[in-house]
Amino acid sequence: MKHLLPAVVILTSGALLAAQEREVPKDSTRITIEGCADGRTFTITAREGHEPSSGGLAPGRRFRLSGPKDILKDIEAREGTMVELTGLVRKAELAGPGGITTGGGRVRIGGGAPQAQVGSPTRTIMGGGSTDPVLDIEGWNRLPEPCPSR
């Protein structure tokens, strides 16, 4: 009987830990990025004197934020202060346009990324036809640095 209680505690704590972190789907990857939020748009910003934690993503890269409403409201309330976000993003959205850079231009061999149908509502960046990748937020941390002014 006295061994039953510790066993129950260990089993329930293991189940709680497993429930906290979702399994990553095969077509997605978990990333941790640092930067600044502006509404539901997040821009990667380099921190002075720190190693980048964005896994090779360049500063200035933007993401659309998705996730639980309470987390999104907390992040929106921290506008002007850098935050660190952890979440899931599709691997295909991280890949970028691809191709080979030659003489300041880009040559792409093969088919391009799928395009939206004519008349479908999409948000484009500078008429390029691409949208910001969606980051499904799992967690966030406040960082001490303020966001750089534009």
CATH code where residue 140 lies: 2.40.50
Domain range for 88:
24-96+124-150
Sequence-separated (6 or more) residues with CB below 8 Å from residue 50? 34
- Inside any domain, residue 61: yes
How many domains would you assign to the chain? 1
- Inside any domain, residue 80: yes
What pTM was estimated for this model as a whole?
A: 0.63
Cα–Cα dist 106/121, whole Å: 27
- Per residue of the chain (150 residues), give pLDDT as tens: 566 555 555 655 554 444 456 788 898 899 999 999 998 999 998 877 666 565 678 888 899 999 999 999 999 999 989 999 999 999 888 876 555 556 656 555 555 555 555 555 544 444 454 578 999 999 999 998 899 876
